[in-house]
Structure 1
Amino acid sequence: MDKLRIGIAGISRGSQFYKEFSRIEGVEVTAVMDPDEQAVEKFRRQYSIDHGFTEYEDLLNATIDAVVIASPLRFHVQQAVAALKQDIHVLSEVTAATSTEDCKTLFDAVKQSKAQYMMGENYCYIRENIAIQNMAQSGVFGELYFAEGEYLHDVKYLHYDEHGRPTWRRTETMGRRGCTYGTHSLGPPLEWFGERVKYVNCVGPGSHTAPAYENDDTTLMLCRTESGALINVRVDMVSNRPHNMGYYSLQGTKGCYEAPRVPGGKHRLWLKDYGLSSEKWMDLSDVYEDFLPIDLIEMPVERTNANHWGSDYFMVNDFVNCLRTDKPVSIDIYRALELTLPGLYSEKSIVAGGSPVEVPDVRQW
């Protein structure tokens, strides 16, 4: 594949994807699509894009090798399926789908296509999360049994457009109860455990900050994995408070990890085999040389301070490398649905008062 031609659907978030793809040699964004014609033309002029469309079908017919789906949630499955039918590779924003039926539709489309599908869960590509994953796989934490993931991000200002009309964030994440946007919080811990969620319990305190909203201010989703480990996921997108979009913790029999809860804090680590006292923490960066590749260790400051802590580039680069070398993508259809389905089934649990609900095993589909 001499040059990889990329199309992008949805130019609001798509502008970040354009910047990251443009950093990779031999990759070119050749076409973009958005229903807002003026936004498309502005984007084309700004970045010198060859083709711009307002219809998704036109984007797929613009001779592209892969498409980035950065559209609202409700379009993810239909746009991915349309691309896969034309054997166009897909990198889709989270979540993969908004219903179990759509999950099955997407699953079937991937199985019938010659192209690859990857869900773009960029939080799995954050440097600290990769370090913890490599450490977990090496066994330094011992037997893993508990983890946490939190996404606290007040985005009420994005729930309505300039004309007062509800956006997809208002209707699709806050328009129903449950953990409707939980893959950022669940993704990294589930990678650390290397298994799937078998049961979920979901509860919430109701709507207080924005009483008209259907979803709770804060949603807690307790996930039990196949081995019996627990992952506690918290998602809150309306509470009046400073952001904390990437808190995680991990507990094993031989060590633990704690991300900072406030800006400026350090990623802390305790490992029994490192001879530390029971009350002494170490900085996660102290072990980077043992558990990270050099390009992640020597990230320039502007990258670590970039959107999503620089993870977008590493995700995009991984996607490109897999396509070029014909290797399976990292977050394939199985993993994408294993990250998406717990949130969908949390909607059943929360309306049942937090009762446990079993999550289907997509590897048996």
Structure 2
Amino acid sequence: MARQGFFGEIIHCEGAYIHDLLEGNFSKEKYYDMWRLKENIGRNGNLYPTHGLGPICQIMDINRGDQMDYLVSMSSDDFMMGEMAKKLAVGDDFYRPFADKTFRGNINTTTIRTHKGRTIMLQHDVTSPRVYSRIHLVSGTKGMARKYPEPARIAKGHEWCAPEEFKSLEEKYTPEIIKKLGEMAKQIGGHGGMDFLMDWRLSDCLRNGLPVDMDVYDTALWSAIAPLSEKSVSNRSNSLDVPDFTDGAWKSNKPMNIALQDGGSTKVKVF
């Protein structure tokens, strides 16, 4: 829809990882060696930006026509993890090493401005009792869409599109990769079929000699938001420049193409 101009000029996008994992963070079995709980100790920022950031960067042609300029980041205090650690330590010595630790703020909000004057908002919260959301909001000069919390919605003005219009738009703008593999992906599964689609797309690009949808420059940029957000939070949310890992190549790099005009020949054998 973005490529075909439905939203007009993209102005602003939002992404997030909002997932109530408080009990899981303290579970002895859920995460190996308590890695997720340990990750939340002494690091205050957006520790998982890529989940929400990746899709909107591709929609906004980040590294391929636009580039991040600077960011600011702010975290709340921790109102939950430290309290739970102390509570659990009373009845279980296993949790005593965690009882006196300083935990990451429950929610982090990071905002980014691009060289073209567009904005991105990211949030990270894995402790609050909130509905699961990656937000995935796209806002442009002609319309907007929001995926989470479900159900997904689209608007071209002050009101959401009616269900009938939403269905019509969905049918009109369904990408070729979904038409080709959508039903098979749902049957095979993996996060609702997303895992299968990504694996197939990567394989198809490699087999046909096509550029992959995410390269090392995307990986470096998206991942850099974590330490940059930590640094901003620790400095009263002052702004920080975002490094240009493409060394200026973003000005001439071509946008990602998922239209299957090339490739699309990889077959699937189900065992």
Classify the TM-score, shorter chain: 0.7 to 0.9
How far apart, in 2, do the equivalents of 1:153 and 1:192 lie?
23
How far apart, in 2, do the equivalents of 1:305 and 1:258 lie?
26
Which residue is 1:218 aligned to? 107
How far apart, in 1, do the equivalents of 2:234 and 2:226 lie?
13
Which residue is 1:184 aligned to? 51
Q: Per-residue displacement from partner, 1:161-194 (whole Å, max 9, x unpaired)?
A: 3499852222235541111111111111111111
Which residue is 1:136 aligned to? 2
Matches within 5 A, 1:16-55: none
Q: Is the 8 A contact 2:185 2:192 kept in 1?
A: no
Q: 1:165 to 1:287 in 2, by over 3 A?
A: closer
SS at match of 1:309: helix
1:296 and 2:178 correspond: yes
From 159, 164, 173, give the equivalent of 1:279: 159
SS at match of 2:57: helix
Q: Is the 8 A contact 1:185 1:235 kept in 2?
A: no
Matches within 5 A, 1:77-96: none
Which residue is 2:128 aligned to? 239
Q: Which runs of 5+ in 1 are unaligned?
A: 1-134, 272-276
How far apart, in 2, do the equivalents of 1:161 and 1:286 lie?
47
SS at match of 2:135: strand
Identify the structure with bigger relative contact order (alpha carbons < 8 Å, sequence gap 6+).
Answer: 2
How far apart, in 1, do the equivalents of 2:28 and 2:118 lie?
41
From 236, 259, 268, give the equivalent of 1:353: 236
Normalized against structure 1, the TM-score is what? 0.55
Matching residue's letter, 2:161: W
Q: Which has the higher strand share?
A: 1
Which residue is 2:93 aligned to? none
Which residue is 2:143 aligned to? 255
Give the aligned length: 222
Which residue is 1:343 aligned to? 226
How far apart, in 2, do the equivalents of 1:186 and 1:346 lie?
13
How far apart, in 2, do the equivalents of 1:180 and 1:163 lie?
19
Identity %: 26
Q: Is the 8 A contact 2:50 2:223 kept in 1?
A: yes
Matching residue's letter, 2:60: F
1:334 and 2:200 correspond: no
Q: 1:194 to 1:165 in 2, by over 3 A?
A: closer
Q: Is the 8 A contact 2:25 2:31 kept in 1?
A: no
Offset, 1:336:
1.2
Q: Which runs of 5+ in 2 are unaligned?
A: 83-100, 249-271
How far apart, in 2, do the equivalents of 1:213 and 1:229 lie?
35
Matching residue's letter, 1:191: Q
SS at match of 2:221: helix
RMSD between aligned residues: 2.7
Q: Is the 8 A contact 2:205 2:212 kept in 1?
A: yes
Normalized against structure 2, the TM-score is what? 0.72
